[in-house]
A and B are shown apart, each in its own frame.
Chain A
Amino acid sequence: MSQGSGGAGSTIAATMYMKQALGNKPSRRRRRGLGSIVWWIVFLIGVLYFFVPLVATLLFSLKPAAFGDAYVATAHDTELFGSLLYSFVIAIITVIGSTLLIVPTAYWVRLKVPRARPLVEFITLLPFVVPPVILVFGLLNTYSHPPLFLTETNLGNDVLMVCAYIVLSFPYMYRAVDTGLRAIDIRSLTEAGQSLGAGWFRILWSVILPNLRVSILAGAFLTVAIVVGEFTIAIFLGRKTFAPFLSILGDHDPYEQGAVTLVSFGITWLAMGLIGLVGRGSRARIQVAGAH
């Protein structure tokens, strides 16, 4: 008897569960539909946030009487390309300096002194806390008189600017490299290299660095973007990089300034695409190897 009622009870429970499950279906579908609408709204806001300023700049740059005048002026502006080239050269030197400083540091900290990681992470975050204006005044106060009178010459000012930019690149470069190091078994790779007879430099150069290519490229890209757009340090050191040039340009030809902004934006995206292309192959290789 009890068995029978138990069986009936479980059948009823099962039927109720099925009804509930079936009954839930439309509401789940409704919820999914609602989620999808919210997702699209967020996406649309994001698109507008990024593209409205660009479209506005484009429309503004096309305002002069003769259509495209600002772009013609941009193409003939040798000073613009000079400043852009100067900024890129400074950016590349910054990336090299930052890589030479950050990669061995992050590698050594992970391998030999993992306890120091929080401290190193804190130091690399300092550029977020100390504004560039403070940094540049610190540099000017220190190096604008003997014994290290670096602000006296152009080369000295360039050195100061690169050093300041290397500091600004710390948060991006360190994080990118550290994430890359986390993805590979650096201890085993280092020990394998050592057992095969390699010294520290050889291991770093032949084993660690190539496996960090994607991470270094990611950090390098951010660094280039920051250096090309950096204004405060460059203006206080009296350097004619791209950002001060753009600012000065805006004072006498705002239409050309808009055109230059869009052109530089295009160049930046082109650079990003190239980096993505270069990094694609090695990224796949490293990830799949790590999965084994």
Chain B
Amino acid sequence: MAYLELSHVRKAFPGGTVAVEDFSLSAEQGEFVSFLGPSGCGKTTTLRMIAGFERPTSGTITLDGRDITDISPNQRNVGMVFQSYALFPNMTVADNVAFGLTIRKRPKDQVTKRVDELLQIVNLPDKGKRYPYQLSGGQQQRVALARALAFEPQVLLLDEPLSALDAKIRVALRQEIRSIQRQLGITTVYVTHDQEEALSLSDRVVVMSEGRMEQVGHPFEIYNFPATAFVASFVGTLNVLPGVVVNAGSGELTIAGQRVRLKSSFEGVVGREVKVALRPEMVSLGSAGDAENHLTGKVTDVSFLGSIVRIRVGLAGENGADGPTVILDEFNEPTLKLPTLGDTATVNFPQVGPLVLDAKAPVESLEELIAEG
């Protein structure tokens, strides 16, 4: 049995709004799982059900074999870090961190020792006597993390902990969170709408939409092999090109009337319209070998994005009409020759990698695909 297990959890609010539908997840001890999705997808509600702030309408939640579905939040031994920090303004940093231990009636010397230890871990060893208002946002969130970890909870829950911070601090703090989590080996559930955060931190990512789990998997799997059109479009930048099936068994189809071939076969009758998902970094300018696919069009935009240059190539549609646009990213090197607007350009992309969405493709195992890639 998994350490933290949610089984067919459903949450409907009075008035009929269903926030979470049939959510099942098993997390192992020490695992870092992220819930990723847009606002209102049910990720925070699910987290709040684990914390005990919301009661599931149906389903069960177990922690280390103990059914905690109906147990009150203060009896669960689950630590939580809030988006708004939720530090107690009337207490010093040390008192905030010590709060959970004082509640558990730990001896005073033990409390002091543990508080010092935690403040050391979150790199605030000399801030114990300060009040929350005397700290920056990033420091306050570190205190909140220390407070949530101080009483050694079985699970750590983080509800968009970095969203109120500026970009630089966010990146630095997320690395710290991951390193502390690894150091302590605590099972962690992290809620975010920031895909970069979820992909860089997690052992596994749960992508959610409209209360449902869209896909659960390793960040690599989520990014490279999205199971649904939603995951493909939500995680990363994606070309979603309309295609028409020519021979599903041999992976052949046409995009804007130009024939392409994919390595993996998919299901679909001849002439069926499908969507082909293609990451910009898979596509490059110029024609490569025969093993690659080629599409020809006109350059419609060139954007400089720092380390990469994003180029848009508009494909000609049927009967001369405007067709779909392919976005491709080129690494910004001093020798890079940029095309000019209106140039005819050929783009190429590999046979392995593009996905036919919602066509029930018989995808090979992840390891196989990684090896091939």
Contacts and interface: CB of A to CB of B under 8 A. Distances in A.
B73 A194 contact: yes
A213 B52 CA distance: 29
A189 B137 CA distance: 17
Interface in A178-207: 184-185, 188-189, 191-199, 202, 206-207
A197 B74 contact: yes
B80 interface: yes
B90 A211 contact: yes
Interface in B84-119: 84-90, 99-100, 103-104
Closest CB pairs A-B (n = 10): A188-B86, A289-B89, A196-B100, A289-B133, A192-B86, A210-B90, A194-B73, A288-B133, A195-B80, A197-B103
A76 interface: no
Given A197-B74, A198-B74, A292-B137, A192 B90 contact: no
Given A193-B74, A196-B148, A211-B89, 15 more contacts: A188-B84, A188-B86, A189-B86, A192-B87, A195-B74, A196-B79, A196-B100, A196-B147, A197-B77, A197-B104, A197-B151, A206-B88, A206-B99, A288-B133, A289-B87
A195 B133 contact: no
B73 A185 contact: no
A184 B89 contact: yes
Contact of B103 (A189, A196, A282, A292): A196
A290 interface: yes
Given A194-B74, A199-B74, A285-B133, A185 B86 contact: yes
A173 to B, nearest CB: 20
B131 A289 contact: yes
B352 to A, nearest CB: 46
Nearest to B78: A195
Interface string B71-83: 0111111111010
A194 B103 contact: no
A188 B82 contact: yes
- From B79, B85, B90, name the one whose CB has the most chain A CB atoms within 10 angstroms: B90
A149 to B, nearest CB: 43
A237 interface: no
A194 B148 CA distance: 11
B90 A285 contact: yes
A197 B100 contact: yes
Given A195-B78, A197-B74, A292 B86 contact: no
Given A188-B84, A195-B73, A198-B99, A286 B104 contact: no
Contacts of A202: 103
A192 B53 CA distance: 10
Given A184-B89, A210-B90, A289-B132, A194 B137 contact: no
Contacts of B73: 191, 194-195
B79 A195 contact: yes
Given A289-B133, A292-B133, A198 B103 contact: yes
Contact-size category for A? 20 to 34
Contacts of B87: 192, 289
Nearest to A194: B73
B157 to A, nearest CB: 8
Given A191-B51, A192-B80, A195-B148, A286 B74 contact: no
Contacts of A291: 133
Interface string B121-165: 000000000011100010010001001100100000100000000
Contact of B140 (A185, A189, A194, A292): A292
Interface string B160-203: 00000000000000000000000000000000000000000000
Contacts of B74: 193-199
11 contacts: A185-B84, A192-B80, A193-B88, A195-B80, A196-B74, A197-B74, A197-B75, A206-B99, A290-B89, A292-B85, A292-B140
B103 A191 contact: no
Nearest to B131: A285
Interface string A271-292: 0000000000010011011111
B224 to A, nearest CB: 36
B216 to A, nearest CB: 25
Interface string A88-100: 0000000000000
B15 to A, nearest CB: 13
Contacts of A194: 52-53, 72-74
B227 to A, nearest CB: 33
A207 B82 contact: no
A112 to B, nearest CB: 12
B142 to A, nearest CB: 14
Contacts of A195: 51, 73-74, 76, 78-80, 148, 157
A213 B84 CA distance: 22
B51 A196 contact: no
Contact of A191 (B86, B88, B99, B133): B86
Given A202-B103, A292-B140, A192 B131 contact: no
B238 to A, nearest CB: 36
Contacts of B90: 207, 210-211, 213, 282, 285-286
Nearest to A207: B88
A105 to B, nearest CB: 21
A195 B104 CA distance: 12
B88 A189 contact: yes
Contacts of B76: 195
B88 to A, nearest CB: 5
Contacts of B86: 185, 188-189, 191-192
A192 B51 contact: no
Contacts of B147: 192, 196
Nearest to B99: A196
